[in-house]
C-alpha cells in the first residue's frame, strides 16, 4: 500500500496526537499531582499552574530521548519498507486507540497507564499487519520489566523514606527540633532532583555529560540546603508549642518541600510521558516528510513537542480533577509528610527511567509509592478495594490498547483507500 493523501494523514496525525496528549494530561498528570492536592499542600489551581509550567518544560526540553524509544525502537521498520502507509496508519490507529481509552478511563476516574495503552497499541497493529517478526521483543521485554521494576523501586523508596520520617521526627520528644536537622537532608534531595531534571533539559542545547550534570546538581543542592537553613530552618522553634502544634508545624515544613517535589515530578513526568503522544506522531511526520521512507529518523520537530506538551496541560486543566481524588485520597489518607515521601520516591524513579530512555508508567510508579507509604503506616491504612480496582483497570488497559488499535487500523485503511 503506497503512501497517498499525505495532507490528510498529516492533519489526522496532529489531531490524534493532540487527543492522545490531552488524555495523558487528564489521566497521568493528575496521578502525578494528585498527592499534592490530596495532602492539601497545594490547591487544585496551584497544582495545575505548577504542572503547566514544568510539564511544558519537561516535555519540550527533555522529552525527545524517550520519544525515540516509542517511535523507532519498538518496531523493525524494515518490515514496512514495501508498505509505508501501513506504518503511518498503524501509528495513527495507536494514537486514536490510546486516546479513546484514556477518555473512557478518565471519565470513570480510573488511573490507568498511558504507556501500557500506547505500547500495546503499537505492538498490536504491527503484529497484525506484517507479522510478529516486526516487533523488537527484546525492547518490549525491557519496557515491560520497567513497568514492574520502577513501581517496586518507588514503593521501597517511599516506604523507607516515610518510615525514617516517622521514626526520627514524629516519634521524637521534640519533633520540631528534630525536623530542623532532617529537613536539611530532605531539602538537599529535593533540590538535587529538581536541578538534575532541569539540567537534562539544558543538555539538549548545551553539551553536558552525565558527570557534569551530577556534579552541578550536587553543588546546587548544597547551596539550596544552606540557603534554606540560613533563611528558614534555623528560625523555626517549637518552644512553648504543644505536641499537636509541633506536628502541625512539621507538616507545614513538608508542605513547602512538596511544592518543589511537585515541580520535579511534573518536569520528570513531562520528559517521560510526552513520548506516549509524541513518539507515534513524530514517526508519522518524518515518514511523510521523507516521502514514504520508513527509515527516516531525524530530530523531532519542535512544533511536535510543543503540540504534545500543550495537549498534556490542557488535559490536566479540563478533566484532571476526575482522577486526582483517586490517587490523592482514596488509596490511603495523605498528609504533607506522606505525600512528600511518595512524590520524592516517584520523581526519582521516573527520572532514573527517563535517563535510560525507558517509557515507564508514571501511574504505576506513583501508585507504588503511595502504597509504600501506606504499608509504612500499616496495612490497615490502605483502602484495599480501591487498590484492587486500580490493578484491575491496569490489567484491562493493555488488551484494550491492542484491540482498539486493530479496529481503528482496519477502519483507517478502508477509509484512506476509499478517499
- SS3 for 260-291, per residue? HHHHHHHHHHHHHHCHHHHHHHHHHHHHHHCC
Please tell me which of 201-215, 261-275, 278-292 the model is most confident about, judged by mean pLDDT: 278-292
* C-alpha–C-alpha distance, residues 60 and 56, integer Å: 6
* C-alpha–C-alpha distance, residues 57 and 66, integer Å: 15
Q: Is residue 66 scored above 60 in pLDDT? A: no
Q: What is the pLDDT of residue 286?
A: 86
Q: What is the pLDDT of residue 160?
A: 94
* C-alpha–C-alpha distance, residues 357 and 395, integer Å: 24
Q: Does some domain include residue 110? A: yes
Residue numbers of the domain that contains 69: 6-418
Mean pLDDT of 49-77: 71
Q: What is the pLDDT of residue 148?
A: 78
Q: Does some domain include residue 309? A: yes
Q: Does some domain include residue 340? A: yes
* C-alpha–C-alpha distance, residues 149 and 225, integer Å: 31
Q: Does some domain include residue 368? A: yes
Domain count, the chain: 1
Q: Does some domain include residue 210? A: yes
Q: What is the pLDDT of residue 70?
A: 62
pTM exceeding the 0.85 threshold for the entire prediction: no
Handedness of CA 363, 364, 367, 372 (dihedral sign): negative
Q: What is the pLDDT of residue 290?
A: 85
Q: What is the pLDDT of residue 248?
A: 92
Mean pLDDT of 79-90: 88
Q: Is residue 44 scored above 90 in pLDDT? A: no
Amino acid at each position: 500500500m503506497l503512501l497517498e493523501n499525505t495532507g490528510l494523514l498529516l492533519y489526522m496525525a496532529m489531531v490524534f496526537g493532540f487527543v492522545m496528549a490531552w488524555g495523558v494530561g487528564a489521566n497521568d498528570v493528575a496521578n502525578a499531582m494528585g498527592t499534592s492536592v490530596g495532602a492539601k499542600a497545594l490547591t487544585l489551581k496551584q497544582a495545575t499552574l505548577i504542572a503547566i509550567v514544568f510539564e511544558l518544560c519537561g516535555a519540550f526540553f527533555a522529552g525527545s530521548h524517550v520519544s525515540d524509544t516509542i517511535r523507532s525502537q519498538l518496531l523493525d521498520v524494515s518490515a514496512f519498507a514495501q508498505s509505508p502507509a501501513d506504518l503511518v496508519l498503524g501509528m495513527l490507529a495507536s494514537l486514536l486507540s490510546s486516546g479513546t481509552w484514556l477518555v473512557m478511563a478518565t471519565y470513570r476516574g480510573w488511573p490507568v497507564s498511558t504507556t501500557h495503552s500506547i505500547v500495546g497499541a503499537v505492538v498490536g497493529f504491527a503484529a497484525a499487519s506484517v507479522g510478529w517478526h516486526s516487533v523488537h521483543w527484546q525492547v518490549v521485554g525491557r519496557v515491560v520489566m520497567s513497568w514492574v521494576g520502577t513501581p517496586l523501586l518507588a514503593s521501597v523508596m517511599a516506604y523507607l523514606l516515610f518510615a525514617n520520617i516517622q521514626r526520627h521526627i514524629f516519634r521524637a520528644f521534640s519533633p520540631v527540633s528534630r525536623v530542623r536537622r532532617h529537613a536539611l537532608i530532605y531539602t538537599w534531595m529535593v533540590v538535587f532532583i529538581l536541578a538534575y531534571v532541569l539540567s537534562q533539559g539544558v543538555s539538549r542545547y548545551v553539551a553536558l555529560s552525565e558527570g557534569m550534570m551530577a556534579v552541578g546538581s550536587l553543588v546546587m543542592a548544597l547551596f539550596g540546603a544552606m540557603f534554606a537553613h540560613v533563611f528558614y530552618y534555623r528560625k523555626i522553634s517549637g518552644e512553648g508549642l504543644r505536641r499537636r502544634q509541633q506536628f502541625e508545624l512539621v507538616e507545614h515544613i513538608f508542605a513547602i518541600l512538596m511544592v518543589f517535589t511537585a515541580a520535579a515530578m511534573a518536569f520528570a513526568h513531562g520528559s517521560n510521558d510526552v513520548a506516549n503522544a509524541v513518539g507515534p506522531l513524530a514517526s508519522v511526520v518524518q515518514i511523510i516528510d521523507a516521502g514514504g521512507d520508513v527509515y527516516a529518523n531525524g530530530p523531532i520537530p519542535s512544533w511536535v513537542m510543543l503540540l504534545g506538551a500543550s495537549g498534556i496541560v490542557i488535559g490536566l486543566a479540563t478533566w484532571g480533577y476526575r482522577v486526582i481524588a483517586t490517587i490523592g485520597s482514596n488509596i490511603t489518607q495523605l498528609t504533607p509528610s506522606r505525600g512528600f515521601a511518595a512524590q520524592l520516591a516517584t520523581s526519582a524513579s521516573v527520572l532514573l527511567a527517563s535517563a535510560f530512555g525507558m517509557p515507564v508508567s508514571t501511574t504505576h510508579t506513583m501508585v507504588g509509592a503511595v502504597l509504600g507509604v501506606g504499608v509504612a503506616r500499616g496495612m490497615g491504612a490502605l483502602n484495599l478495594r480501591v487498590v484492587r480496582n486500580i490493578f484491575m483497570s491496569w490489567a484491562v488497559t493493555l488488551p484494550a490498547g491492542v484491540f482498539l488499535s486493530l479496529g481503528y487500523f482496519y477502519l483507517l485503511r478502508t477509509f484512506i483507500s476509499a478517499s
